[in-house]
Chains A and B, each alone.
Chain A
Amino acid sequence: MTSTTMEQKIRRIVAAKAQCDPERLGRHDDFEEVLGLDSLDRLDVLAAVEDELGVQIPDDQFSEIRNLDDLLKALGARPCEIAA
Chain B
Amino acid sequence: MKIGLIALSGVRVRTRELAELGITLPQFVNRGRVIATLPSLGLLTVAALTPPDIEVIYREMNEVSADDPLEPFDLVGISSFTAMIDDAYALADRYRAAGIPVVLGGLHVSLMPEEAAQHADSIVLYGAEGAWPRLVADFRRGRLQPRYIGLRNGVFEPPHYASPRFDLLQGRPYNRITVQTSRGCPHDCEFCAASLRITSRFQQKPVDRVIAEIERAKAITETPFFELADDNTFVNAKWGKKFLRALAPLDIHWFTETDISVAEDEELLDLLAESGCRQVLIGLESPTAGGLDRIDSRNWKQRHYARYLEAIERIQSRGVTVNGCFIVGLDNDTPEVFEQVKDFVAQSRLLEVQITVPTPFPGTPLYHRLQRQGRLLEDRFWDRCTLFDVNFRPNKMTVEELESGLRWLFAEIYTETELKRRQRHYIDIVKQRREDQRTNAPAVGCA
Residues of B390-424 whose CB lies within 8 A of A: 416, 419-421, 423-424
Query: Which of B125-133, B150-158, B426-434 interfaces with chain A?
Result: B426-434
User: Of the candidates B321, B423, B430, B434, which one forms a contact with A62 in the assembled complex, judged by CB atoms under 8 Å apart?
Assistant: B423
Q: Is B379 part of the contact surface with A, judged by Cβ < 8 Å?
A: no
Interface segment out of the listed A4-12, A22-30, A38-46, A71-79: A38-46
Contact in complex: A50, B431 (CB < 8 Å): yes
Say what secondary structure dominates the interface of chain B. Answer: helix
Q: For the complex, what is the distance from the CA of A36 to the CA of B225, rounded to whole Å?
A: 10
A-B contact count (CB 8 A): 43
Tell me, yes or no, whether B223 is within 8 Å of chain A by CB.
yes
Residue from A41, A47, A48 with most neighbouring chain B CB atoms (10 Å): A47
- Minimum CB–CB distance from B248 to chain A (whole Å) comes to 16
Given the complex of chains A and B, what is the CA–CA distance between A51 and B434 in angstroms? 8
Which residues of B lie under 8 Å from residue A63 when comparing CB positions?
416, 419-420, 423
Residues of A within 8 A of B427 (CB): 43, 46-47, 50
Which chain A residues border B223 with CB–CB below 8 Å?
36
> A40 CA to B253 CA in the complex, in Å?
10
CA distance A46 to B428 in the complex (A): 10
Q: Are B419 and A47 in contact (CB under 8 A)?
A: no
> Chain B: which residue is nearest A52 at the CB level?
B434
A82 CB, nearest partner CB in chain B, Å: 23
Known: A59-B420, A62-B420. A47 touches B222 (CB 8 A): no
Residues of B within 8 A of A36 (CB): 222-223
Cβ of A60: which chain B residues have Cβ within 8 Å of it? Answer: 420
C-alpha spacing A59/B419, complex, angstroms: 10
**A contact residues around B119 at 8 Å (CB):** none
For B321, give its contact among A40, A41, A48, A59 (CB under 8 Å): A40
7 CB < 8 A contacts A-B? A40-B426, A41-B253, A47-B426, A48-B430, A50-B431, A51-B430, A63-B420
Known: A51-B431, A59-B424. 16 other contacts (CB 8 A): A38-B253, A38-B278, A40-B426, A41-B253, A43-B426, A43-B427, A43-B430, A47-B426, A47-B431, A47-B434, A59-B420, A59-B421, A62-B423, A62-B424, A63-B420, A63-B423
